[in-house]
């Protein structure tokens, strides 16, 4: 049986050793993406920004999506963005592990979505551990929040500005702090 390519393996959550025969492909793909990201971040027309983001993600970005650049993405093809999403200035998406942003999500300035981590053991530290991030519909991620790998943000949830989210957030709650904890429930 043929081994899956490195990007499929990443998307499936496989830890990739720095000695992996295909590891170089991650850097190569990131440099290809970087060229498109530079073009996107220098574009001024919303239509052009969406067109370039569609190329970066290899998906069709809906016309209802608004992105205020700059937006920094290291790979792009593992990012899926729903309809009526707003992404504000200076966000960072490390998406080798997969990022899914559902409809009607608001992402404030300087938000980091980080699907990639490394082993704690120093001998293995150069390896890459990918785990997906899922932001469910109607969530609002506050300014300068960081969402770590493997986290799901529930429907209608709010992540307070400056928070570090390292565990799943239930639907209909506000979380905040470092590490983020539930502050209150949202009664809709």
- Model confidence over 20-59: pLDDT tens digits? 999 999 999 999 999 999 999 999 999 999 999 999 999 9
What pTM was estimated for this model as a whole? 0.95
Q: Does residue 25 sit in helix, strand or coil?
A: helix
Residue 168 pLDDT > 70: yes
The answer for residues whose C-beta is within 8 angstroms of residue 111's C-beta and 6 or more apart is 88, 91, 92, 141, 142, 143, 144, 145, 146, 147
Domains of the chain in start order, with CATH, are: 6-185 (2.160.10.10)
Catalytic residue IDs: 118
Residue 181 pLDDT > 60: yes
């Amino acid at each position: 049986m043929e081994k899956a390519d490195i990007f499929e393996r990443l998307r499936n959550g496989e830890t990739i050793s720095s000695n992996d025969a295909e590891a170089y492909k991650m850097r190569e793909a990131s440099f290809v993406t970087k060229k498109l990201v530079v073009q996107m971040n220098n574009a001024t027309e919303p239509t052009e920004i969406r067109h370039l983001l569609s190329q970066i993600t290899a998906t069709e970005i809906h016309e209802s999506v608004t992105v205020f650049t700059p937006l920094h993405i290291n790979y792009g093809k593992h990012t899926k963005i729903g309809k009526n999403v707003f992404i504000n200035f200076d966000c960072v998406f490390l998406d080798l592990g997969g990022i899914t942003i559902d409809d009607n999500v608001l992402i404030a300035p300087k938000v980091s979505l980080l699907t990639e981590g490394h082993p704690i053991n120093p001998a293995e530290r150069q390896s890459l551990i990918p785990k997906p991030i899922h932001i469910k519909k109607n969530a609002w991620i506050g300014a300068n929040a960081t969402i770590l790998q493997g986290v799901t943000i529930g429907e209608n949830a709010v992540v307070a500005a400056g928070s570090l989210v390292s565990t799943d957030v239930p639907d209909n709650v506000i979380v905040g702090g470092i590490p983020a904890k539930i502050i209150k429930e949202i009664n809709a």
